[in-house]
Every structure is written in structure tokens, then in C-alpha cells.
Structure 1
Amino acid sequence: MTPAVEQIVSFFETLTPQSLARCGEIYAPDARFKDPFNDVRGLPAIQGIYQHMFTALHAPRFVVHERIVRGPQCFLTWDFQFRFKSYHPGVTQTVHGGSHLQLDPQGRITLHRDYWDAAEELYEKLPVVGGLMRWIKHRVNT
């Protein structure tokens, strides 16, 4: 595995509000980040997404399971574990997903695109919305 990818994995797995200051070591200045809720460009905006994660959730953390590296591209599979602050705060939630990363010659991320199913992994776990999502899923599958 390349040292750059190992540094990126270590950054994600040990991410804290304090380590957000190191984002410039991991992301290129004009990097793009896209997931089911965000599409932003630049270090300040990316740091803002992570800061919001720490503000909105209790004990968020990433566990990376697989790394596939091909030239300047990498795909990571991961679990994102957290607890909601107001809804079942004692229950750990898990979102399964993957990230496609494109790296510059210095090994910094220029494109970070997360893939995960917001309906199954998040909405179905929420009161009211979850019931509706499960009902829709059942109707579509019958």
C-alpha cells in the first residue's frame, strides 16, 4: 500500500475535532468533496463538513475495511459509526459505505466522493421518516 493512502486511512480512522487542522496534509487546497448531502470545493468547506459532523453527532468515527489502489486513485470501504445526540443517544448507529479518492502527485486528495445509501443507512433509522421509508421500500418491492 502506498504511504499516502496509509496516511489518509490513518487520518480518517483517528479523526477528531483537533485533527481537522491537518486537513491540508490530506486534501489539496481546491479539493472537491461529494456525498449524498454535500457537494463542496476547497479546504474550508471540507473542514466545515467534518466540523458539522462532530457538532451534530456523538462519537463519530470511521473504520476502514478495504483499500483498492490503482495509480492515483483509491477506493476505500468503511463503516461510519456514531450515536445520534437526541434520538436513542445510547445506541450506536452504523453506515456502510465507500469512498472514491483521486490523489495529486503529492498524495493529497483532489476528489473525495462518498457512496452510501442514505435511505437505508440513515432515514430508515429515524422515527416517522423511517416508517415511511420502510413502507415505500416494501411497496416498491411487491
Structure 2
Amino acid sequence: MNISSIDNSLQNDDSSILINRFIDIYSQLNSGNLHLLDDVYSDSIVFSDPLHKLESLERVKSYMAHMYQNINNYSITINDAMVANDQAYLQWSMQFSHSRLNKGKLISFDGVSRLIFDQKITHHQDYYDLGAMLYEHLPLIGKVIKFTKAKAGQ
């Protein structure tokens, strides 16, 4: 999916071209084509999410290679995007399965990425509910977390 299919008001400037390329790459990314990240990430990329903070393109690619070895049925869908002032915000939905989580069944959750760029992306920060991605699907502790969330929502 590209930005123009999300928001027709975005111009076809360098920023939008970069973010469209990022979206295209992430829609097809797997362990065999991590070299595609070279097109959009700077060599000194800082990538962070609730579990990691990685500094350098090589560390990001190494992390992703390891991730792809441990998950199945991975997909990410970009639902919305906004680009302004050398930053982009992408709202996405992710699905994956892991043999040790949720009895191997599909896990789905939503998140947002903040991208900062110059000519390439220099910072990539992912925001998502770590409970929805991981903790709720762990044996034993998952039931406690789901129960606690249900009680807190009453």
C-alpha cells in the first residue's frame, strides 16, 4: 500500500517518495531481502520499540533476521500515514504467529511508527501495546493480564 492510496492530498515530493518506498519495502520484507532496508534507512539509524533500542543499520538487520527466524505468518498493513516536516507517522496493524505464544495461533495488534528523516530515515520509533503483542499470549501470565485488563475496563 502506498501513501497516495491512503491520503490523496499528499504531494509526490521527496519525503512522500521515501515513505512510499518504506511502506513498499515493509509490505514485502522477509529474512531473504533485508538488504532492501539500505534504500530507506541511514547507516546510523536509531530503531526503538518497547523491547529494543538499536543503533546502526547492521544491528537493525541482524535483529530482523533473528525475528524472522522465530515467527510465522508475519504481515503488516499500513492503515494510515501522515508526512510533514521531515517526519512521518504510520498507523499499522501487524499479525504473526509464534510456536510458544497463543498456542501457535495468529496474534494481531495495532501500533504507530514515528519516522524522522533527512535524505533517509534516521530514527524509527514503534509504539504499541506490549501486552497485546506478547504478555497476553504467554502461558500462565497471559490469563492474569487478560483478567486484569478486563477488570480495569469495568
Q: TM-score, normalization: structure 2?
A: 0.82
Ranges of 4+ aligned residues in structure 1 off by more than 2 Å? 85-89, 134-142
User: 1: distance between equivalents of 2:69 and 2:147?
Assistant: 31
**In 2, Cα distance between the equivalents of 1:76 and 1:30?**
21
CA RMSD of aligned residues (A): 1.7
Distance 1:94 1:139 in 2: 22
Q: Report if aligned partners of 1:53, 1:60 keep a CA contact under 8 Å in 2.
A: no
Q: 1:24 aligns with which of 22, 35, 38?
A: 38
Aligned counterpart, 2:133: 121
Question: Which structure 2 residues correspond to residues 58-97 of structure 1 after superposition, within 5 A?
Answer: 58-87=72-101, 88-89=103-104, 91-97=105-111
Aligned identity (percent) is: 24
Aligned residue pairs, count = 139
Asked if 1 retains the 8 angstrom alpha-carbon contact of 2:87 and 2:115, the reply is: yes
Q: TM-score, normalised by structure 1?
A: 0.89
1:52-111 Cα offsets, whole Å, 9 max, x none, are 22011112121111111112100001111111124433x22112101000011x2x1100
Q: Is the 8 A contact 2:74 2:96 kept in 1?
A: yes
| 2:64 pairs with 1:50 | yes
Partner of 2:149: 137
- Structure 1 Cα separation of the partners of residues 86 and 66 of structure 2: 29
TM-aligned CA deviation for residue 140 of structure 1: 4.6
Gaps of 5+ in 2: 1-9, 11-15
Aligned match for 1:11, one of 18, 22, 25: 25
Q: Cα 1:59–1:28, aligned 2, differ >3 Å: closer, same or farther?
A: same
